[in-house]
Amino acid sequence: MKTPKITIDRIKKYLAEGKRFDGRKPEEFRDLEIEFGVSKKAEGSARVKLGNTEVIVGIKMGVSEPYPDSPNKGNLMVTAELLPLSSPRIEAGPPRFPAIELGRVIDRGLRESHFIDFEKLCIEPGKKVWTLFVDIYTINDDGNLLDAGGIGAVAALMNAKIPKYDEENSRVLHDEHSEENVPLTKERPISITGYKVGDKILFDPTREEEDAGETKVTVGISHGIISSMQKGNETDLDTEMFGEMIDMAEKVWQDLVTKIEKFIK
């Protein structure tokens, strides 16, 4: 069931005092946990836990034709699937708005940060390039799938090994992974989503808090600068608050980077 209005009123009332139900500060993230290589068959995979929210991201690679406007660049496809097991409010069936939004926002975060060196994913210009399929599966939805999925996508890409390619028969040998990593830059992009709840801003909401959120802005940060941005939900956001949100996101970014670094050896 969707969070009832009276609970939302309580969240807003409590947040006006600068407090949250679980005792966190408005800009504080929940405990983060990253596990690499959860799937043996995929080219790369990662499981990310953010409090009770849990996502698994898998990378598959295939060889296909490049797009006409970028003949010497590889392709990237990000899709998200909200599994019914992750929340009682998700139904099986074709992807609906939240799933599409999740895939698109994370796609933009990865693409605009130039995290992946697409030119190195080219096998034969104009004919054959690698396509990266990034698939996001939600295991448990307790809010903030956007950030958990974004961290998961980056982690899975770092874990990925390019499979061997049989040039003669033009077949990808999925069972044999080479030692070659996906060409990535050193700087890892992180997307952070700020939510406007009442007249306050908070980060990393739980399911209830996300329901209370009127507007959200996802900011993709890479190399310490903002590389992508996406506003969600229908409600408006004034300039002052928008500025405040960006400032806070930059602060949160610092903390989150140190949290993520712990899991990367």
Partner 1 sequence: MADKEERKIVIPGETIVSGDEYLPGEGTEKNGQDIIALKYGLAEEQNKLIKLIPLSGKFSPRRGNVVIGKVEELTFNGWVIDIGTPERAFLSLMEVPRFVNKDALEEVMAVGDIAVLKIWSINKRGIDLSLKARGLGKIGEGLIVEVNPNKVPRIIGKEGSMIKLIKDETGCNITVGQNGLVWIKGEKVEDELLAKKAILFIEENSFVSGLTEEVTQWFGKNNGKGNTAEDKE
Whether the CB-CB separation of 72 and 66 falls below 8 Å is answered with: yes
* Residue 200 binds to partner 1 (criterion: CB under 8 A): no
SS3 183: coil
CB of 71 to partner 1, least distance (A): 53
**Count of residues touching partner 1 (by CB under 8 A):** 16
With contacts defined by CB under 8 A, name the span among 8-16, 76-84, 118-126, 171-179 that binds partner 1: 8-16
Whether the CB-CB separation of 165 and 173 falls below 8 Å is answered with: yes
Q: Which is nearer to partner 1, 18 or 94 (CB)?
A: 18
Q: Which is nearer to partner 1, 7 or 72 (CB)?
A: 7
* Residue 7 binds to partner 1 (criterion: CB under 8 A): yes
Interface mask toward partner 1 for 133-172; x: CB under 8 A: ----------------------------------------
SS3 166: strand
Give the closest residue to 131 by CA, choosing from 199, 196, 79.
Answer: 79
* Residue 259 binds to partner 1 (criterion: CB under 8 A): no
Helix axes 97-112, 145-159, angle to 10 degrees: 50
Q: Give the CA-trace dihedral at 92, 96, 98, 102, to 10 degrees.
A: 90
| Structure token digits, residue 103 | 């895939």
Q: Which of residues 17-76 bind partner 1 (CB under 8 A)?
A: 19, 21-24
Q: Which is nearer to partner 1, 120 or 259 (CB)?
A: 259
Give the closest residue to 260 by CA, choosing from 38, 33, 26, 50.
Answer: 33
In sequence order, the β-bridge partners of residue 53 are 50
* Residue 87 binds to partner 1 (criterion: CB under 8 A): no
Residues near partner 1, by CB under 8 A? 1-7, 9-10, 13-14, 19, 21-24
